[in-house]
Chains A and B, each alone.
Chain A
Amino acid sequence: DAGVIQSPRHEVTEMGQEVTLRCKPISGHDYLFWYRQTMMRGLELLIYFNNNVPIDDSGMPEDRFSAKMPNASFSTLKIQPSEPRDSAVYFCASSPRDRNYGYTFGSGTRLTVV
C-alpha cells in the first residue's frame, strides 16, 4: 500500500493567490481528515469526511478555506485568497471503518505564502 499521498510536498505562493492541496487516501479507508500544523497552534483538525461526505468543518478557519471529496480516492483543500498567516504544514490522514485504529497520515504539504 502506498499510504496516504499528498501533493505537492512544498508550495510557495504569493498572497492573494489560490492554493489547492491534494490528497489520495488509502484505498478502503472510510474517513479522511485534514489537519494543519503551526508552531503557535500545533496540530488542528480542519475538516473530516466520512464516505466522501463532510461531517465536521468547524475547524476551518474562515470562508477562504474549502474542502471537497468528489470520490473515495481524492480530496482537495483550497485556500482562496491565500494570506501569509496560512503558512503551515497541512496534513491529510485517513482511517478505516474501525476509526479508532489510528489515522495514517500523509507526508504533509508545507505551504508558504509570501
Chain B
Amino acid sequence: AQKVTQAQTEISVVEKEDVTLDCVYETRDTTYYLFWYKQPPSGELVFLIRRNSFDEQNEISGRYSWNFQKSTSSFNFTITASQVVDSAVYFCALSDLRTGANSKLTFGKGITLSVRP
C-alpha cells in the first residue's frame, strides 16, 4: 500500500528565512511519481512539481528546490528566502504505475506554512 507522511503539521517562520518541508513516502513499486502541491488560503490546489522514481537529480525553480533521495524514501521541499505569499498548505503526493491502475494520487496530510512579515 502507498503512504505519504508529512510529519510536520505546522511551521511558522519569519520572512526571508529558509524553510524545508519534509515528505517521506512508502511504496512497493519501482516506478512511481512524486508531487508537491500548494494550497493557498484561497483554497485551490496548485501543482508545483512532479518527479519520477528514476530521476534523483535535485531540482531548483527560483526560490523553490526539491531534494529526492530514494535511499531514505524522502522528497523534501525547500523554500529559500521565504515570503509572506508562500503562506499556504503544502501537500506531498505519490502515484504508482501498477498495471491496470492509473496514477491515483495519494496525498499526505499537508503542512501549514505561515510566513510572518
Contacts and interface: CB of A to CB of B under 8 A. Distances in A.
B116 interface: no
A108 B101 CA distance: 25
B18 to A, nearest CB: 25
Interface residues of B, number: 24
A110 B42 CA distance: 12
B52 interface: yes
Interface of B: 33, 35, 37, 42-47, 49-50, 52, 91, 95, 97, 101-105, 107-110
Contacts of A110: 43
Contact of B50 (A42, A48, A102, A106): A102
A56 B110 contact: no
The binding surface of chain A is classed by DSSP as strand
Given A102-B35, A103-B47, A42 B107 contact: yes
A108 B43 contact: yes
Contact of B102 (A55, A89, A91, A107): A55
A52 B45 CA distance: 23
Interface string A93-114: 1010001111111111010000
